[in-house]
């Protein structure tokens, strides 16, 4: 009990130490006890421990002593005090009179170490971690660099001192005497930076797997609402595409390309909880978007990036082994900010700025458009008709509307405020934070996305350091009332620039004089609102009964709940007939509920004279439930009733529920010999409810190894400029279950009644023999550092083979079905290289400049496909080529004599091949002889960071090289037709015989309509897209300490941030080079300014 009391007190002790004589002389009247103690420290050289509040509340002292011993002086000071002092070696501990302490009597008894950590200039280092090796016993230095640590056994322990940016140290406690001063040397190397793992953490030095970590600082430089935007281009092997610039838009994420016909989404884990970042969330607004890839939303839109401490990307078999088959396609591990010990601090971060459309096609103006239209008639020897309103005088010949700018050219307001408060004494730490964010729409119709969130974290360690508890939780509520449509669709953007206004001055839709065309701004009148609540909680329990042994459990819960409403009121429709009969409204509710349970036991012990073995075994249970319900009404007697769909003339209700579970057991062995030879062995037995009886479970394994060859005696110090070198490799077999649920079962749906009774109709054939896809992963990596970390190179080569592909096979419709799920015999190889280089170009006391470069070169190959030649997909794939090809006609350019697009068929003949009009036609099955791989050829990023005194500048460019559609291929109709504008690229069109150009002549006749279908399916509709984009710029200034001190502020800065500021590219396709998606708003350009304060 005495020892427990002693440990409880250590968390709130105050430390200071000096060394002089022990002859004490004091002459004080009505002096504070604190001032007396300070003088006793100066004269005695002893270290004093006390609770600052306890000493501050003590009565004042009168003392007069000359040439006294320390004990005599203390007796004189404390004789009338409700306090007690205890001498332990050269330490004086002051407490209330009822608390006693145990003084260590021998080497096996606990001993208190008192110390101070400083840098090479003698400055104190706060926040340094001091731990006893192979245990959870530890301390963190305070603002003065001081720490206290109870060591159970002085002779048999080692202190490990770590701090980011400094070289770690290990010191044997057997040679130490308290108080001690430890000096850390600055180190630019990232070898010893913390790398977060599924269970615990490690350093880059000791990794056997391929892991990349993005820190909170890098994330915080980006003024974005989704963390994927912040890490895009920064991680080798991680390919991210923002599918739309709309608020709460979706993202496509891949780690190391696509190795399966069925897609390869990575696993997302937030604080140990499986997170539905890949789910296509079922918003009512999905149907209003122009293409399927933009539909849904990323669940990460509902997780505040400012609350993220780090994002760890795990790629190879060894790194992802702990997650088994769920991590077959890579793992993205997100760790939120946690409570830390220290003086309570209040931090405030606020941003305010604007967002606008990032890119837009350069379209023809009115004069250019009308000239093109007249030329089209001249080429066809025709004259405008009554239906050609743009030319016959019905529409103004001088009016001009830039439709992309008009519909999505608004400069919208962005604001974001995050406030956090936290601290603790080491035994109990706490943190609570709140966030408010608003993102206004850049499209017509206005509206905004607003988020209000609250998070907390509390952790506690028992006084004997045997039990650890951490609980975190967060709740956010996001409301969205922006218009659900995307006004960047090609048909709307390329309307004639002299077309009449689609919205009248009074705000109503214009339906007059449109030439029978639909008003494409109809969706401005939609009613929409959605509320998405996100609850995320996590509890970590850890018990350490003996040294090296820990029993752990992680319990996680996530509930993503959405309720939305969509209405089509009367002014949405053209006022013809009884519009009320057409009005529609719908309400829906869906949720994604996930439980995650991870119990495990870990034992670390010394094995061999220089070896350490870590053994871990445990299990994983993930339970996911996704219910969806909706009610839709058609025909309302008044718009006021739209908000209650049940009042409609016709009502349809719908309900679905999907549940899935994953269960796994695992064992992991990690062996470290002298921090030189590293070995990792992993085994998993995983089960999934996506497969039928007898096929649900699969056994998977991996092995990883590392060799730090610069620790070899024959090399160490032989090459002065080589400061670190590690060779590592991994091999493993895992499974993939990335298919929809219940494919092993026959399914039915409700059908029309028969004989007055409801019926069911079959909708899918079962395949109870479906089994896991199998992925064999191989990797080798080399990590080098030169000149003490000033230059670091990391290179990796991976080679993955996927077999037993889960695909859909086609059936003859006479069977009653058209598809059937199977395991295909096809084999896909996915290989590539990932390279990164980090350099510290200049590093002085006042100025630093560092550069980071990463590049990924991925390749995918269809190695074999038995039976391909006789299958229904025989013309879709080629063995030896990428399995993700687009099959196209061979475009041969524009005929200089006729101005028509030409193609080369399978026989080698060249011609226009206009459907129905030419003597010979192109066969869609046999004449598409060219293939284009849409996978990236390479991608990466370049960052530069500059720091001068209090100024900091970070600039990041993202780069890509891939094939993609151009604007010509994106347009569904050929320019020259009525109400079809196009880009200024068409100013280079063919106009006279002999013109050599890649843009054909214009036409308004039937030939242009028929011929354009060939072009959109040809290689002419695609081009190489190479670009470098300034994805992020962050400029900040750290406010002077002298100014902050007067305002009682610890530190503060002001900053300017920009996102998507500049794109450098020769791509002339007219689409955004990132998403290359016709009909989707491109990623936004964002400019913000803000302030960050710590009080």
pLDDT in tens, 335-375: 999 998 878 889 999 999 999 998 888 999 999 999 999 99
The model's pTM is 0.84
Return phi, psi of residue 1021, to 5°.
-85, 0
27 has which bridge partners? 64
Lowest pLDDT segment from 19-33, 585-599, 759-773: 19-33
Which residues have CB under 8 Å from 577's CB, separation 6+? Answer: none
For residues 85 and 121, membership in a common domain is answered with no
Q: 296 in a domain, yes or no?
A: no
Last residue of a domain, one of 163, 187, 211: 187
pLDDT in tens, 213-228: 999 999 999 999 999 9
- Residue 493: both structure tokens together: 């953007």
Which residues have CB under 8 Å from 91's CB, separation 6+? Answer: 46, 47, 48, 49, 112, 114, 178, 179
565 has which bridge partners? 529, 587
Mean pLDDT comparison of 8-17, 157-166, 454-463, highest-scoring range: 454-463
Q: 358 in a domain, yes or no?
A: yes
Q: 514 in a domain, yes or no?
A: no
Q: If you average pLDDT over residues 953-964, what whole number do you get? A: 95
Whichever domain contains 688, its CATH number is 2.40.170.20
For residues 798 and 686, membership in a common domain is answered with yes
Mean pLDDT comparison of 255-259, 291-295, 639-643, highest-scoring range: 639-643
Last residue of a domain, one of 137, 154, 187: 187
Q: Pick the residue with more confidence: 804 or 135?
A: 804
- Residue 670: both structure tokens together: 């990690």
Q: If you average pLDDT over residues 621-646, what whole number do you get? A: 95
% of the chain surpassing 70 pLDDT: 92
Task: Please give the residue range of the domain that contains residue 48.
Answer: 2-96
Q: 265 in a domain, yes or no?
A: no
Going from the C-alpha of 252 to that of each of 661, 882, 893, the distances in angstroms are: 24, 20, 33
* Residue among 783, 791, 671 at smallest CA distance from 205: 783
pLDDT in tens, 987-1026: 999 999 999 999 999 999 888 888 888 999 999 999 999 9
pLDDT in tens, 65-104: 777 788 878 877 776 677 777 776 667 777 766 533 333 3
Helix or strand or coil: residue 393? coil
Strands (DSSP E) found in 73-196:
83-88, 91-96, 111-118, 129-132, 138-140, 146-151, 158-162, 169-172, 180-183, 194-196
| Whole-number Å distance between alpha carbons of 1053 and 1051 | 7
pLDDT in tens, 1025-1040: 999 999 999 999 999 8
For residues 778 and 695, membership in a common domain is answered with yes
Residue 5: its pLDDT value, please? Answer: 39
For residues 587 and 617, membership in a common domain is answered with yes
Whichever domain contains 44, its CATH number is 3.55.50.30
Q: If you average pLDDT over residues 58-63, what whole number do you get? A: 78
Last residue of a domain, one of 96, 128, 151: 96
Each residue of 665-698: b (16+ CB within 10 Å) or e? bbebebbbeeeebbbbbbbbbbbbbbbbeebbeb
Which residues have CB under 8 Å from 238's CB, separation 6+? Answer: 212, 231, 253, 254, 255, 313, 330, 332
294 CB burial (10 A radius; 0-12, 13-18, 19+) = buried
% of the chain surpassing 90 pLDDT: 53
Which residues have CB under 8 Å from 381's CB, separation 6+? Answer: none
* Residue among 268, 265, 296 at smallest CA distance from 280: 296
Residue 1078: its pLDDT value, please? Answer: 72
Q: Give, in degrees to the nearest 5, the angle at Cα 152 between 147 and 153.
A: 110
For residues 34 and 152, membership in a common domain is answered with no
Q: If you average pLDDT over residues 424-431, what whole number do you get? A: 88
- State the average pLDDT for the chain: 87
891 has which bridge partners? 903
Number of folded domains in the chain?
3
For residues 70 and 181, membership in a common domain is answered with no
For residues 363 and 420, membership in a common domain is answered with yes
Angle of the 33-44 helix axis to the 70-78 helix axis, nearest 10: 170
Residue 756: its pLDDT value, please? Answer: 73
CB atoms within 10 A of CB 541: 15
For residues 87 and 132, membership in a common domain is answered with no
Q: Is the pLDDT of residue 135 over 70?
A: no
Residue 107: its pLDDT value, please? Answer: 38
Q: Is the pLDDT of residue 234 over 70?
A: yes
Q: If you average pLDDT over residues 379-393, what whole number do you get? A: 91
Whichever domain contains 180, its CATH number is 2.60.40.1120
Q: 512 in a domain, yes or no?
A: no
For residues 771 and 659, membership in a common domain is answered with yes
For residues 839 and 921, membership in a common domain is answered with yes
Q: Is the pLDDT of residue 561 over 50?
A: yes
Q: 547 in a domain, yes or no?
A: yes
Q: 213 in a domain, yes or no?
A: no
1054 CB burial (10 A radius; 0-12, 13-18, 19+) = middle
Q: Is the pLDDT of residue 477 over 60?
A: yes
Residue 103: its pLDDT value, please? Answer: 38
For residues 50 and 168, membership in a common domain is answered with no
Q: 1033 in a domain, yes or no?
A: yes
Q: Pick the residue with more confidence: 12 or 199?
A: 199
For residues 44 and 170, membership in a common domain is answered with no
Angular region, 441: left φ>0, alpha ψ -120 to 50, beta rest = beta
Lowest pLDDT segment from 113-122, 824-833, 911-920: 113-122
Query: Are 587 and 612 contacting, i.e. CB atoms less than 8 angstroms apart?
Result: no
């Amino acid at each position: 009990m005495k020892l427990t009391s002693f440990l409880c007190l250590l968390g709130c002790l105050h430390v200071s130490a000096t060394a002089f004589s022990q002859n004490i002389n004091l002459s004080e009247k009505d002096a504070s006890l604190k001032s007396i103690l300070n003088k006793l420290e100066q004269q005695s050289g002893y270290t004093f421990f006390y609770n600052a509040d306890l000493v501050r509340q003590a009565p004042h002292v009168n003392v007069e002593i000359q040439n006294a011993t320390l004990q005599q002086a203390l007796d004189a000071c404390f004789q009338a005090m409700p306090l007690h002092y205890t001498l332990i070696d050269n330490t004086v501990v002051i407490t209330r009179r009822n608390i006693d302490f145990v003084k260590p009597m021998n080497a096996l008894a606990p001993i208190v170490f008192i110390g101070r950590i400083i840098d090479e200039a003698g400055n104190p280092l706060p926040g340094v971690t001091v731990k006893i090796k192979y245990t959870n016993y530890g301390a963190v230095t305070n603002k003065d660099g001081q720490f206290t640590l109870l060591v159970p056994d002085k002779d048999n322990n080692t202190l490990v001192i770590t701090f980011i940016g400094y070289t770690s140290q290990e010191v044997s406690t057997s040679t130490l005497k308290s108080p001690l001063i430890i000096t850390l040397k600055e180190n630019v190397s990232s070898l010893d930076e913390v790398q977060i793992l599924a269970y615990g953490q490690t350093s880059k030095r000791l990794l056997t797997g391929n892991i990349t970590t993005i820190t909170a600082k890098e994330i915080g430089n980006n003024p974005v609402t989704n963390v994927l935007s912040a890490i895009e281009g920064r991680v080798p092997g991680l390919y991210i595409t923002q599918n739309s610039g709309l608020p709460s838009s979706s993202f496509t994420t891949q780690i190391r390309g696509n190795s399966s016909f069925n897609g390869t989404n990575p696993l997302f884990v937030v604080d140990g909880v499986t997170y539905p970042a890949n789910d296509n969330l079922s918003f009512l607004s999905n149907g209003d978007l122009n293409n399927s890839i933009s539909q849904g939303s990323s669940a990460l839109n509902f997780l505040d990036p400012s609350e993220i401490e780090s994002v760890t990307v795990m790629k190879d078999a060894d790194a992802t082994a702990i997650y088994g088959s769920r991590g077959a396609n890579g793992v993205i591990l997100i760790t939120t900010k946690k409570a830390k010990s220290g003086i309570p601090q209040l931090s405030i971060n606020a941003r305010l700025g604007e967002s606008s459309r990032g890119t837009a096609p350069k379209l023809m103006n009115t004069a250019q458009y009308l000239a093109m239209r007249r030329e089209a008639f001249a080429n066809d020897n025709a004259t405008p008709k009554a239906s050609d309103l743009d030319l016959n005088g019905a529409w103004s010949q001088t009016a001009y509307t830039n439709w992309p700018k008009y519909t999505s050219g608004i400069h919208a307001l962005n604001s974001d405020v995050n406030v956090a408060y936290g601290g603790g004494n080491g035994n109990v730490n706490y943190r609570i934070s709140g966030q408010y964010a608003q993102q206004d729409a850049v499209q017509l119709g206005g509206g905004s996305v607003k988020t209000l969130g609250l998070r907390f974290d509390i952790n506690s360690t028992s006084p004997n350091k045997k039990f650890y508890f951490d609980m975190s939780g967060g709740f956010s509520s996001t409301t969205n009332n922006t218009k659900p449509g995307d006004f960047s669709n090609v048909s709307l953007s390329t309307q004639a620039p002299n077309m009449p206004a689609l919205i009248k001055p009074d705000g109503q839709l214009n339906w007059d004089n449109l030439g029978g065309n639909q008003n494409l701004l109809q969706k401005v009148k939609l009613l929409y609102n959605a509320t998405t609540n996100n609850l995320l909680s996590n509890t970590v329990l850890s018990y350490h009964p003996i040294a090296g042994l820990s029993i752990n459990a992680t319990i996680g819960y996530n509930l993503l709940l959405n309720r939305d409403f969509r209405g089509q009121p009367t002014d949405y429709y053209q006022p013809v007939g009884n519009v009320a009969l057409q009005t529609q409204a719908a309400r829906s509710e869906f949720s994604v509920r996930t439980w995650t349970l991870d119990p495990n036991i870990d034992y670390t012990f010394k094995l061999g004279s220089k070896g350490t073995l870590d053994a871990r075994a445990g299990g994983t249970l993930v339970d996911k439930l996704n219910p969806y319900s909706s009610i839709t009404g058609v025909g309302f007697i008044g718009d006021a009733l739209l908000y209650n769909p049940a009042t409609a003339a016709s009502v349809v209700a719908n309900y679905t529920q999907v549940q899935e579970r994953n269960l796994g057991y695992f064992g992991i062995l990690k062996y470290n010999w002298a921090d030189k030879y590293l070995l990792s062995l992993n085994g998993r037995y995983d089960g999934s409810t996506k497969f039928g009886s007898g096929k649900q479970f699969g056994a998977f394994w991996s092995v990883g190894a590392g060799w730090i060859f610069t620790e070899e005696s024959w090399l160490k110090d032989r090459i002065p400029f080589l400061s670190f070198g590690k060779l590592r490799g991994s091999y493993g077999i895992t499974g993939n279950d990335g298919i929809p649920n219940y494919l092993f079962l026959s399914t039915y749906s409700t059908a029309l009644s028969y004989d007055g009774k409801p019926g069911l109709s079959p909708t899918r054939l079962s395949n109870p023999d479906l089994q896991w896809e199998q992925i064999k992963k191989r990797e080798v990596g080399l990590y080098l550092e030169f000149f003490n970390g000033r230059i670091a190179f990391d290179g990796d080569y991976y080679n993955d083979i996927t077999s037993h592909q889960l695909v859909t096979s086609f059936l003859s419709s006479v069977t009653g079905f058209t598809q059937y799920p199977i395991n295909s015999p096809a084999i896909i190889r996915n290989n590539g290289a990932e390279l990164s280089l980090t350099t510290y170009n200049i590093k002085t006391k006042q100025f630093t400049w560092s550069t980071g470069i990463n590049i990924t070169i991925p390749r995918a190959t269809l190695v074999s496909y038995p039976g391909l030649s006789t299958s229904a997909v025989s013309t879709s794939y080629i063995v030896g080529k990428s399995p993700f090809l687009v099959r196209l006609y061979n475009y041969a350019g524009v005929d200089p004599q006729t101005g028509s697009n030409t193609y080369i068929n399978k026989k080698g003949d060249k011609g226009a091949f206009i459907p129905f009009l030419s003597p010979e036609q192109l066969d869609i099955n046999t004449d598409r002889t060219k293939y284009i791989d849409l996978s990236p050829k390479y991608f990466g990023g370049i960052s530069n960071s500059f720091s001068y005194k209090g100024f900091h500048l970070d600039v990041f460019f993202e780069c890509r090289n891939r094939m993609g559609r151009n604007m010509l291929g994106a347009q569904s109709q050929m320019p020259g037709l009525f109400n079809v504008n196009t880009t200024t690229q068409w100013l280079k069109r063919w106009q006279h015989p002999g013109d050599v150009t890649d843009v054909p002549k214009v036409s308004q006749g039937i030939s242009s309509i028929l011929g354009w279908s060939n072009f959109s399916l040809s290689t002419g509709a695609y081009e190489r897209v190479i670009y470098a984009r300034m994805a992020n710029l962050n400029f900040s200034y750290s406010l002077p300490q002298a100014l902050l001190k007067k305002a009682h502020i610890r530190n503060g800065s002001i900053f300017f941030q920009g996102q998507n500021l500049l794109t450098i590219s020769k791509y002339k396709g007219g689409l955004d080079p990132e998403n290359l998606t016709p009909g989707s708003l491109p990623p936004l350009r964002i400019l913000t300014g803000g302030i960050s304060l710590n009080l």
